[in-house]
């Protein structure tokens, strides 16, 4: 390090082991800061290019949760509170959203918003017709996730995008169509412009990049910005010193995933078929939802839900973990709040018996055939034993 660094108030010199890029604060005016700024913008451009988006349409956040919250709470920034309370503004969303969409939307009821929750069909997929029926002049936001994190069900984003665009053009009114694309990015083909999306949330760590980093795409002329106020970073939409190491790692990983998307998708499809075939040999197994066996392409091959009633989900997870297989009991985030688990599956009409025994297998680009075969073996042997006592 030839420079003498005396700008610790802007940012500190990092510890050993942090990635080898400049550590300076991109907002610093000195040469090290400029270098950091250039790195940041280069990362932004790369990210946008990979998703075929214009450069300035992407801002970086602390993760998918923040990106979702920024979008959802944005109306409180842009619409006069008095007007919000006078009218009865509406938001259309689904009952299968991730908690980081579901919870903030529900919170908006305190400001007089009316929330319409669309339930999925029993196959876990939203019917776009049902959304169409609910649109009226009071709707300002529609939020539907791209891929459900519990079942892997791929939602009809393109159709919904069409519906929203048609309405906007017809009525001369803008409705923001937002999608939580956290489980889609880098896994299934996803091009926001093509899908006519107004805003999309992304998360880095689902791709193998670090935790604590995400991104938010917003179409031009949309006033989406964070309720947090501060130093004006990210085009004044999201204050806070940018997590440069995280962002650079995010974009590096994304580039690789996008480049190999089709190849990985094919492999994942084969692996998930193998997994499903293996699990189906177990007596008493229930694939969630059953329809995915008939229409596999409607579900992300990276996420598979199965149930083994009446063995409780947690017991299954622990039994598999004892043998070295790590899976999830429902959505990873909801293991903090027992009472709120099962909302998604309940909305699909599944019984409590099935819901309480569900585990989720989810693959990544590194998963091998050998691992899947071993996993099947572990599941078979564990279930055999557990069923003896239950």
Partner 1 sequence: MDKRVLVKYGEISLKRGNRKKFEKRLIENIRYKFPNMPLNINHTWGRIYISVPSEELNRLTEGLGEIFGIVGFTETLIADKEVKSIKEKALQLALKEIETSKQKEELTFKAEVRRLDKSFRPNSYEIACEIGDYLLDSIPQLKVNVHKPDFIINVEIRESVYLYTSVNNGLGGLPVGSSGRGILLLSGGIDSPVAGYLMAKRGLAQEAVYYHSPPYTSDMALDKVKQLSEILTRYIPRFKLNVAYFTEIQERIKERAREEDVTLMMRGAMVEIASKLAETNNALALITGESLGQVASQTAESIRFSGSRTTLPVFRPLIGYDKEEIITIARKIGTFEISTLPYDDCCTIFAPSHPTVKPDFGKAVEEYENLRLEKLIDKVLKNIEVFTPERAN
| Closer of 241 and 335 to partner 1 (Cβ) | 335
Q: How far is the CB of 347 from partner 1 (least distance, A)?
A: 25
Q: Report CA-CA distances (Å) from 369 to 15, 158, 268, 272, 297.
A: 38, 32, 10, 10, 20
Q: Are 199 and 176 in contact (CB under 8 A)?
A: yes
CB closer to partner 1, 134 vs 314: 314
CB of 339 to partner 1, least distance (A): 10
Angle CA 120–97–304, to nearest 5 = 75
CB of 384 to partner 1, least distance (A): 13
Helix ranges, the chain (H): 31-50, 64-73, 75-78, 81-86, 99-107, 128-134, 157-171, 192-195, 233-236, 244-259, 261-280, 313-322, 343-347, 352-355, 369-389
Q: Is 83 helix (H, G, I), strand (E, B) or coil?
A: helix
Is 333 known to be catalytic? yes
Q: Distance between CA 236 and CA 213 in Å, rounded?
A: 18
Residues of this chain that interact with partner 1 (CB under 8 A) are 310-312, 314-319, 321-322, 338, 388-390
| Minimum distance, C-beta of residue 380 to partner 1, in the bound complex (Å) | 16
The CA–CA distances, whole Å, from 223 to 171, 334, 349 equal 19, 31, 37
Q: Which is nearer to partner 1, 317 or 350 (CB)?
A: 317
Q: Kindly tell me which of 42 and 338 has the beta carbon lying closer to partner 1.
A: 338
Given 333, 352, 381, 385, which residue is catalytic?
A: 333
Of 39 and 306, CB closest to partner 1: 306
* CA atoms of 124 and 144, how far apart (whole Å): 13
What strand order describes the sheet that includes 139-143?
Answer: 58-61, 214-218, 199-203, 176-180, 139-143, 90-94, 114-118
Quote the least distance from Cβ 27 to partner 1, whole Å: 43
Residues annotated as catalytic are 333
């Amino acid at each position: 390090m030839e420079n003498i660094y005396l700008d610790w108030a802007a940012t500190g010199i990092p510890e050993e082991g942090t990635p080898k890029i400049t550590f300076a604060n991109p907002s610093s005016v000195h040469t090290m800061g400029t270098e950091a700024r250039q790195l940041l913008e280069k990362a932004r451009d790369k990210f946008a290019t990979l998703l075929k988006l214009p450069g300035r349409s992407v801002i970086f956040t602390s993760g998918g949760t923040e990106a979702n919250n920024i979008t959802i709470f944005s109306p409180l920034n842009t619409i006069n509170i008095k007007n919000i309370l006078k009218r009865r503004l509406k938001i259309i969303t689904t009952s299968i959203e991730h908690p980081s969409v579901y919870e903030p939307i529900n919170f908006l009821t305190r400001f007089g918003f009316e929330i319409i929750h669309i339930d999925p069909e029993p196959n876990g997929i939203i019917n776009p017709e049902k959304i169409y029926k609910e649109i009226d002049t009071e709707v300002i936001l529609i939020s539907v996730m791209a891929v459900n994190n519990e079942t892997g069900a791929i939602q009809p984003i393109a159709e919904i995008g069409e519906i929203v665009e048609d309405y906007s053009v017809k009525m001369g009114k803008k409705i923001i169509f937002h999608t939580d694309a956290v489980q889609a990015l880098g896994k299934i083909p996803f091009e926001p412009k093509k899908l006519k999306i107004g805003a999309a949330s992304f998360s880095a760590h689902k791709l193998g990049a670090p935790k604590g980093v995400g991104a938010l795409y917003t179409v031009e002329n949309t006033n989406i910005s964070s309720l947090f106020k501060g130093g004006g970073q990210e085009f004044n939409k999201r204050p806070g010193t940018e997590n440069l190491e995280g962002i650079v790692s995010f974009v590096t990983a994304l580039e690789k995933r996008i480049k190999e998307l089709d190849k990985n998708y094919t492999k994942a499809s084969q692996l998930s078929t193998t997994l499903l075939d293996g699990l189906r040999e177990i007596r008493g197994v229930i694939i969630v939802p059953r329809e995915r066996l008939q229409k596999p392409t409607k579900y992300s091959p990276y996420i598979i839900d199965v149930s083994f009633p009446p063995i409780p989900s947690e017991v299954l997870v622990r039994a598999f973990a004892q043998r070295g297989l790590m899976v999830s009991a429902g959505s990873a985030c909801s293991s903090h709040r027992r009472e709120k688990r099962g909302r998604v599956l309940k909305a699909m009409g599944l019984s409590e018996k099935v819901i309480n025994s569900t585990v989720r297998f989810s693959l990544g680009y590194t998963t091998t055939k050998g691992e899947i075969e071993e996993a099947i073996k572990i599941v078979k042997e564990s279930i055999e034993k557990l069923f003896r006592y239950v």
